[in-house]
Amino acid sequence: MEYTAEDEKLIESKWQDLIESCKKICKNEADWNFIKRAYFLAKEAHQGVRRRSGEPYLLHPIAVAKIVVDEIGLGVKSVVASLLHDVVEDTDYTVEDMEHIFGHKIATMVDGLTKMSGVFNTDTSRQAEYFRKVLLTLSDDVRVILIKIADRLHNMRTLGAMPQNKQVKITGETIYLFAPLAYRLGLHAIKTELEDLCMKYRFPKEYAEISQQINETSAARDEFIRKFNAPIIETLDRYGIKYEISGRVKSVYSIWTKMVRKNIPLSEIYDLFAIRIVFQPLEFPSEKTQCWQIYSSITDIYTPKPDRLRDWISMPKANGYEALHSTVMGPDGIWVEVQIRTQRMEDIAERGFAAHWKYKQSSITQDEDEFDKWLKMIRTALDSPSQNAIDFLDSFKLSLYTSEITVFTPKGEARHLPYGATALDLAYDVHTKIGNKAIGAKVNHKIVPVTTQLNSGDQVEIITAESAHPKPEWLEYVFTAKAKQAIKNHIKSEQEDNLQRGMDMLDARLAELNITPNNRVIRKLMEAYNSSNKDELYVNIGAGLVTLDNLDKIVKTNSKNKILKFWTLFIKDNDEEADEELDDSKKNPAKEQNNHSQLVIAECCHPLPGDNVIGFRDPITHQIIVHKATCDELNRLASQHGDCIVKEAIQWSQYKTQSSLATIEILGIDRMGVLVDLANVITNDFSINMRQINVQTHDGIFEGTLSLYVRDAESLNVILDRLRRVKGMESVKRTTN
């Protein structure tokens, strides 16, 4: 279909916008000609093609190029590669054509982007395997990854045109990999927007409600910020500092996750915004000294909260982030976070890798920083031949951690580790051989187990022994991708013999019983012997940890999976509205058999009737596992097996009433009669059966869990609201356990 005159006018408008943005990167006529050649080739290649939204396809590469130059700060070659990034994949042009027309570097970048596009159009573990291969571009040209993030950002901005199952797949990939990757590359603004867009499409109702509440309180918030800033502005002006001061509201996604995590309404979140001071430093003294001087001036005005000081200037984050954060007591008794940074620090915080590299190249020192170390670690992981694709993807996700601690070696060398890391993580961070031989540690000169969790500021010495070797249980005590990979590699090398022996033993025993080995038999054995995969089952058999004496009995037993008899699968078609008009008695409870699949409760999140749910078709069993829409495990699965997200909407049916078990966590102030009040609410007010109650008291505080049989999620929410009104109750929330 040819483009209309309106289409051509829109394309020309967007192209002129891009030209305006490129003025800051084009140094000469050759640069301009390079970009124009790429544009006109892309225009010819995509002529007449439209996106799912109906708009001309060419608008997409133009938009990606604009993000690359405006929001990431890359140069001419990156703009050219952005304009051409879909040409090889979607048209008759080849990588060889790109090299002939634009040179080797552009051809390499376009080739990397083309391979990366293939990652997210595949299914099962191939998706993870392709992603692993694509990350090899980190060792060649990080700009390929940055352009791909820009591509994902524009796709997320236009996600509304995609069907619901594709939205789940794309948002799952984005929240699981792209947002953390953007964070790790220092692209804070893009990371925040990706998270907000994921929430907007996955949880539109919650997104709209929070956005509306933020807008409704903006006037009062602006007045508070003006009042808070006034004495700070007066002080900074008196010292002659060139600065910008602003109040920034936290993202909708970060507010929502805090509401969910703490089970509190928006009105109870007091750190909705932060004050940011960005200043132009003088040549003398150092940037660090000037940041502390401004901090000192602010704490002369407002009292700081001692445990909320964050010094990321002395020790920057692994993604290069530098700033001084402090929380102070503002007017009306409200805590306010203040962020202090120079313009250089601001550029790196917002534009990440591109700004980081620009400032590094212009500085005198070329020392290896934390970002370089992270890249080196990823390259090492990519080179490992023994790690399968899914394990690699999970390990890579671990390397994108956001919360960090800093510990010190006996010689005073600082090491950055994820929050929750143990002495064993440090041992592997220093060297794989030290980790493999670790038997204990000295933390602050005190001998402790090697599995001890470390705190920021600890000085740690690893104790080793030649006879030591990694144990499978170590995997439960390490947090870093490097440690997990090293332990798995060592265990795998020891288990290969056991694996083959176990396969032979199982085949022989099944043959004796005239049982044909198949997926159904293996699944039953994995469930019976608590094995997470077939290899683990074979290894345990080969090592003698599992006996096959009761094999016949296990194979003939029914599966323990809980089939949902009260869910039905609606296929969205033109008759959907008519279906909705039918009363419950006329609806067909057997629609779940459409695809010869069973609907199974997800053990990770235990959805209740009425919860917003999404189906995931297991690539091995073909059962449809139903997860809560908020389930973190669903995001992980969507990022690895995106095409297994069920297209049809899964909806609760009313044709059969059945109670479901729900667990509630409670916390409050201990007093006489509190348990009686709780029991009265549950049994007298709601006439609900309690399966179990477990409450402990200490230091005037009670905490515990209640296990109740409830009809659906709505009923449970009513109970939670009533329990929160019990005198002394501080926290009441549903848990998945």
Give the DSSP letter of residue 55: S
Which residue type occupies 383? D
CA distance 559 to 699: 46
CA 279 to mean position of chain CA atoms = 32
- For 449, the 3-state DSSP assignment is coil
CA distance 59 to 49: 11
Active site residues: 89-90
User: How open is the CA angle 501-506-510, to the nearest 5 degrees?
Assistant: 155
User: How open is the CA angle 626-128-490, to the nearest 5 degrees?
Assistant: 105
Which residues touch 27 (CB under 8 Å, ≥6 apart)?
Answer: none
Looking at the chain, how many residues does it have? 737
- Output the six-digit token pair for 225: 């910020």
- The CA distances from residue 538 to 279, 495, 501, 523, in Å, are 62, 10, 8, 12
Q: Which long-range contacts (CB under 8 A, 24 or more apart) does 620-623 make?
A: 620/519, 620/523, 621/519, 621/523, 622/596, 622/597, 623/561, 623/597, 623/598, 623/599
Radius of gyration in angstroms for the set of CA atoms belonging to the chain, rounded to a whole number: 29
- CA proximity to 515, closest of 532, 524, 537: 524
- For 629, the 3-state DSSP assignment is coil
- CA proximity to 406, closest of 395, 421, 389: 421
Helix (H) or strand (E) holding 131: helix 124-134
- CA proximity to 548, closest of 586, 517, 594, 579: 517
Query: Hey, what's the torsion of the CAs at 45, 51, 57, 63, to 10 degrees?
Result: -140
- The CA distances from residue 523 to 214, 406, 451, 537, in Å, are 50, 43, 33, 10
Phi-psi region of 622 (alpha: psi -120 to 50; beta: other; left: phi over 0): left
Helix (H) or strand (E) holding 361: helix 353-362
Give the DSSP letter of residue 518: -
- Output the six-digit token pair for 188: 């804070």
Write phi, then psi, for 655 (nearest 5 degrees): -75, -10
Q: Give the other-Cβ count within 10 Å of 116's Cβ.
A: 23
Give the DSSP letter of residue 4: P
- Output the six-digit token pair for 49: 């093609």
- The CA distances from residue 123 to 95, 130, 137, 243, 642, in Å, are 25, 10, 22, 51, 6
